[in-house]
C-alpha cells in the first residue's frame, strides 16, 4: 500500500451510522499500491505495477449488472471494501471477519476489482479518484457527457465531490454552473473551473440560471428540496442525486412532464468506468485537491471532516509508507 484516501463514508460506517459495524474496523476505500505478489492465473497485473482499488472488492460476476460493467449495482450485492460480508470467494480470509479497508500496510484483491494506474500519474493525489472521482465521472459518462461537448452541467455543492465534478465536467468541454447555498464558495468554484455560479439562497440568482442545466450532479447529502434544483434543470435534463439523503423528496409531476425531465440517482461506478475515469484524469491532469497526512493524524482528519473542515473540497490522503516508517504503527 502506498496511499489511502479518507472518505466521509469511512466515518459514517466506522461510527455505525449506516448499520452495524464489526470491530476491529479498518476503513478506507480509496486504495493505491504497488503489486508485490500475484496469484496463480493472474493475467492483468504483474509485480511492480502501480494499481488501485475502490469501494468494492467482489461481486457475483454473473448477473446482468456485472456483465454490463455496473458491478456496483450487482443483483446479488457487491462486497464493500470494508465492513462487508465476504460472499463470492474472491475476498479471501476468515469468512467470519468482514472485509477490512485501505488504512493498512497491504491488501489482497482479486484482479477483476483492481484498476491500472498509468505511468507518470501523480500518485499522492490519485487515491480519492477511486471514490470521489468515479462518483462524479460515472453519471457524466452514463448520461452521455463523455461523448459530447458544450453542454451545461450544474454541480450542486462545492465540497470534495463537487470540486471533482467541476474539474471533470470542465475538462470534458462543458460549461459548468457551480450551485451552492453560500455565496462564499464562488471564488473556489471558479478556481476549479466553473464558469458560472448560482447561489440558491438568492432568488435573482435562481431566476438567472432557471432551466439552464442539461445535467445536474447534486452532491448534497443533507435533507433538501430537490424541486429547487429541478427548476435549474433544462428541458430534457436530468437531475442526478448522489448523496445518502434519507428523507424522501416531494416531487411535482407536471414540471417533469412539461420538460421531459428526470430525477435520478447514481452510486460510485463499475470497474471499467473507473479505469476510464483514471485514464481520463491522467490525460487531462484532473486531480482532487489533497492534503497528505500520516496515519497518526487520522483521528484529526476525521474530526476535520465531521466539522466540515474540508469545505474547500480537500481530501485527506494517508501516506502509508511514511506512516509505517514512523513510530505510529508497530513493525
Residues in contact with its own copies by CB under 8 A are 65, 70, 73, 75, 142, 235-236, 238, 241-246, 248-267
Burial of residue 308 (number of CB atoms within 10 Å: 0-12, 13-18, 19+): exposed
- 58 vs 70, which CB is nearer to its own copies? 70
DSSP state of 79: E
Q: Which position has the grid cell 433544462?
A: 234
Q: Is residue 166 within 8 Å of 286, Cβ to Cβ?
A: no
Measured from the CB atom, the residue of 262 and 294 that comes closer to its own copies is: 262
Cα distance between residue 103 and residue 27, in whole Å: 6
Nearer to its own copies, 58 or 214 (CB): 214
Q: How far is the CB of 242 from its own copies (least distance, A)?
A: 7
Least distance in angstroms from the C-beta of 72 to its own copies: 9
**Would you put residue 249 in left (φ > 0), alpha (ψ -120 to 50) or beta?**
beta
Query: Look-up: residue for cell 450542486?
Result: 156
CA dist., res. 193 & res. 280, Å (int): 16
24 prior amide bond cis, ω within 30: yes
CB of 92 vs its own copies, minimal distance in Å: 26
d(CA 1, CA 53): 10
84 with 99: CB under 8 angstroms?
A: yes
Nearer to its own copies among residue 190 and residue 261 (C-beta): 261
Q: Which grid coordinates belong to 51?
A: 494499481
Nearer Cβ to its own copies (184/235): 235
Cβ proximity to its own copies: between 64 and 303 the closer is 64
CB of 268 vs its own copies, minimal distance in Å: 10
Tell me whether residue 169 or residue 238 sits nearer to its own copies (CB atom): 238
**In the complex, what is the shortest distance from the CB of residue 223 to its own copies, in angstroms, rounded to a whole number?**
9
Shorter beta-carbon distance to its own copies: residue 76 or 292: 76
Kindly report each contact of residues 43-47 with a partner whose C-beta sits within 8 Å and lies 24 or more positions away, as own/partner.
Answer: 43/111, 44/111, 44/112, 44/114, 44/116, 45/111, 45/114, 45/116
> Rounded to 5 degrees, what are φ and ψ at 160?
-60, -45
Dihedral over alpha carbons 289, 34, 295, 219 (to 10 degrees): 40
Task: Give the shortest CB-174-to-its own copies separation in angstroms.
Answer: 16
Output the smallest distance, CB 265 to its own copies, in A. Answer: 3
Task: Supply the minimum distance, in Å, between the C-beta of residue 134 and its own copies.
Answer: 13
Amino acid at each position: 500500500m502506498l496511499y489511502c484516501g479518507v472518505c466521509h463514508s469511512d466515518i459514517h460506517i466506522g461510527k455505525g451510522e449506516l448499520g452495524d459495524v464489526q470491530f476491529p474496523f479498518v476503513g478506507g476505500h480509496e486504495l493505491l499500491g504497488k503489486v508485490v505478489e500475484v496469484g496463480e492465473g493472474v493475467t492483468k497485473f504483474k509485480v511492480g505495477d502501480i494499481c488501485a482499488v475502490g469501494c468494492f472488492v467482489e461481486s457475483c460476476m454473473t448477473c446482468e449488472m456485472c456483465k454490463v460493467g455496473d458491478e456496483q449495482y450487482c443483483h446479488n450485492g457487491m462486497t464493500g471494501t470494508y465492513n462487508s460480508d465476504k460472499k463470492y470467494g474472491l475476498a479471501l480470509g476468515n469468512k467470519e471477519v468482514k472485509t477490512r479497508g485501505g488504512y493498512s500496510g497491504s491488501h489482497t484483491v482479486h484482479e477483476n476489482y483492481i484498476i491500472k494506474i498509468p505511468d507518470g500519474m501523480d500518485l499522492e493525489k490519485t487515491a480519492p479518484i477511486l471514490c470521489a472521482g468515479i462518483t462524479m465521472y460515472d453519471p457524466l459518462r452514463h448520461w452521455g457527457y463523455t461523448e459530447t461537448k458544450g453542454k451545461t452541467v450544474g454541480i450542486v455543492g462545492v465540497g470534495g465531490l463537487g470540486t471533482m465534478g467541476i474539474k471533470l465536467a470542465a475538462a470534458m468541454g462543458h460549461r459548468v454552473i457551480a450551485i451552492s447555498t453560500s455565496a462564499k464558495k464562488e471564488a473556489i468554484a471558479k478556481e476549479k473551473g466553473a464558469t458560472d455560479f448560482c447561489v440558491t439562497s438568492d432568488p435573482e440568482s435562481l431566476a438567472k440560471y432557471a432551466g439552464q442545466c442539461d445535467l445536474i450532479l447534486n452532491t448534497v447529502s443533507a435533507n433538501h428540496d430537490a424541486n429547487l434544483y429541478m427548476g435549474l434543470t433544462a428541458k430534457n435534463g436530468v437531475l442526478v442525486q448522489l448523496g445518502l439523503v434519507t428523507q424522501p423528496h416531494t416531487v411535482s409531476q407536471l414540471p417533469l412532464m412539461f420538460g421531459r425531465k428526470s430525477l435520478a440517482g447514481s452510486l460510485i461506478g463499475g470497474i471499467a468506468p473507473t479505469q476510464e475515469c483514471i485514464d481520463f484524469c491522467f490525460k487531462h491532469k484532473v486531480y482532487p485537491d489533497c492534503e497528505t497526512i500520516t496515519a497518526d493524524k487520522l483521528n484529526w482528519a476525521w474530526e476535520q471532516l465531521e466539522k466540515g473542515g474540508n469545505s474547500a473540497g480537500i481530501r485527506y490522503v494517508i501516506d502509508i509508507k511514511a506512516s509505517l516508517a514512523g513510530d505510529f504503527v508497530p513493525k
